[in-house]
Amino acid sequence: MANKLPTYFISHGGGPWPWVPQMREIFANLERSFVEMVDDLPQKPKAVLMISGHWEAEMVQVMASPQPPMVYDYGGFPAHTYSVVYPSPGAPEIAEKALNLLKDAEIAVELNVTQGYDHGTFVPMAIMYPQANVPLFQISLQASYDPATHLAMGRALAPLRDEGVLIVGSGLSYHNLRLFGPEAREPSDGFDAWLHDALMQEPDARTAAMIDWESAPYARVSHKQEDHLVPIFVALGAAEGEAATMIYHEKGLFGGVTASSYRFG
């Protein structure tokens, strides 16, 4: 019998940073946190389920390819970063289970056999499991970004944790590409402090606070579009009654950004 695995919300960094030496140096602490995530698990996962801020759809999609292709969803990086391959196998049988769990929760969902790994998925996985020896699949965000919908997705997917599936929401705790550098310090600090306080509350209050995230200080400065925040709702929903632990926290990225990651359970 597999041990129940925790869930995570991770800040995944910028673009294909592990393959750009100057960027890899910037994200050294983030890289260390990904390695520690794996070291802290009670067992090697049967599969990893990523919910990335880089894939959304009107109807929730479940990746079902046995060998997903690559999606280079970034621009302006060195040519070699567009030939990176992370060859982890897919997990079509577990994807089918995930599909049925979501259907049972009356969430509109369908399989997608063509979608590939986006950089919100293959970047952290390349650090976590560089041998690409853990089956991997993704589930999309629902394009409304509705917190309640994504919390419900997490609740529906929670039984996968008992089967050794590691559920990871991959985004960024601060994501305003137009406001980096020193100007990002105040809003990212302010929102990050609110996020930490919200997640440290008891479960009912935590869920209520997160649903009302737009009332947080600097909420819409930090997340003008919340695609990189919404993965946290799935991770939280899948471990809603369990404690949160900060596993990564850094100030001054790119001259001003504060970013954090969390474990649930």
Whether the predicted pLDDT of 237 surpasses 90? yes
Q: How confident is the model at residue 66 (pLDDT cuts 50, 70, 90)?
A: very high
What pLDDT score does 178 carry?
81
Instruction: Give the other-Cβ count within 10 Å of 137's Cβ.
Output: 28
| Number of domains composing the chain | 1
Average pLDDT (28-40) is 98
Mean pLDDT, the chain, integer: 96
CATH number of the domain that residue 81 is part of: 3.40.830.10
> Is there a domain that residue 2 lies in?
no
Whether the predicted pLDDT of 1 surpasses 70? no
Pairwise CA distance, residues 23 & 40, whole Å: 25
Query: Whole domain around residue 179: which residue ranges?
Result: 7-264
> Is there a domain that residue 175 lies in?
yes
The widest CA-to-CA distance across the chain, in whole angstroms, is 50
Do residues 161 and 167 make contact, with C-beta atoms less than 8 angstroms apart? Answer: yes
> Is there a domain that residue 202 lies in?
yes
Pairwise CA distance, residues 39 & 34, whole Å: 9
Instruction: Give the other-Cβ count within 10 Å of 1's Cβ.
Output: 6
The pTM score is 0.97
> Is there a domain that residue 1 lies in?
no
